[in-house]
Structure 1
């Protein structure tokens, strides 16, 4: 199977389980592209993730930058469309079903379950990225410091990204 077909199949499947957005699939994306397919090293994956989140646009950009890294511009386009189209079509179908059965008990249960599922998936993504980007005690301190500042302050995340970049240039 050629690389574009592999990208389409991988991100098409991931699109259907991206409850809460593409960031919820980051652990599986990392497992697929780093561990199983060896398209990226752990450090490359963490760098591409950082780039995709620093760029303006949706969090689906992770698929775009991985696809582009693996297969150039066509890979970026294929990965992006594969990440958007299946979940978009599913969202349309589900919303029609929700409209038809408004107020049903199963609907209330499904809505209540989605928040903790999404939160758990996003926390798993954060753990995977932290493990892949920490290369020693210094980077662990930077990661911990960013986590604490993000949790305890109202600093915009771009300030944390910029601060991390400056520290990386000065110290690492």
Structure 2
């Protein structure tokens, strides 16, 4: 078990620095590490943990805690949570003073503007990873595309879209 705890820390501490835009930005790499690289779980188990992390209150990085729990129980959950939250928190704490001192400089504005599209791309990659792992085929991609467009261009409630997606798949999966 100490080896698994070290593996958890080794996976999630570096990812801590990549959580630009929130925990959802590293979902694609969490999947790659947990399912492909280490084989801690299969796609279905990962999707179950992902779904559970989304329906429970708390940070988007709760998925990491659940993966840690799956891999090594309570101690695994604690190690994984520590690894995803503490390193980046210490870095942000250390950089906050420097950032506020130079907040009007060209390089800080460039970094801020550059991080936004990178974070969006990482979140998009996470969405694609979840869609592929779900193995919903063209229907899943279609429902996701329609939901995205509806959320971007209308004021429709996400709850209605979730219900519509459930109805579509209740018909498709018959």
Name the TM tier (shorter chain). Answer: 0.7 to 0.9
Q: Deviations over 1:62-90 (max 9, x none)?
A: 10111111111221121111110001111
The structure-2 alpha-carbon separation of the partners of 1:157 and 1:114, relative to structure 1 and needing over 3 Å to count, comes to same
Corresponding residue number in structure 2 for 1:122: 123
Corresponding residue number in structure 1 for 2:106: 105
> Is 1:73 the counterpart of 2:81 in the alignment?
no
Unpaired runs of at least 5, structure 2: none
Of residues 26-35 and 136-145 in structure 1, the stretch that sits farther from structure 2 once superposed is 136-145
- Tell me the distance in 2 between the aligned counterparts of 1:66 and 1:161: 25
- Tell me the distance in 2 between the aligned counterparts of 1:129 and 1:94: 33
RMSD: 2.3
Of residues 153-162 and 20-29 in structure 1, the stretch that sits farther from structure 2 once superposed is 153-162
TM-superposed deviation, 1:155? 4.4
Corresponding residue number in structure 1 for 2:134: 133
- Tell me the distance in 2 between the aligned counterparts of 1:80 and 1:156: 32
Would you say the 8 A contact 1:134–1:143 is kept in 2? no
Q: How many residues align?
A: 172
Unpaired runs of at least 5, structure 1: none
TM-score (norm 1): 0.85
The structure-2 alpha-carbon separation of the partners of 1:98 and 1:7, relative to structure 1 and needing over 3 Å to count, comes to same
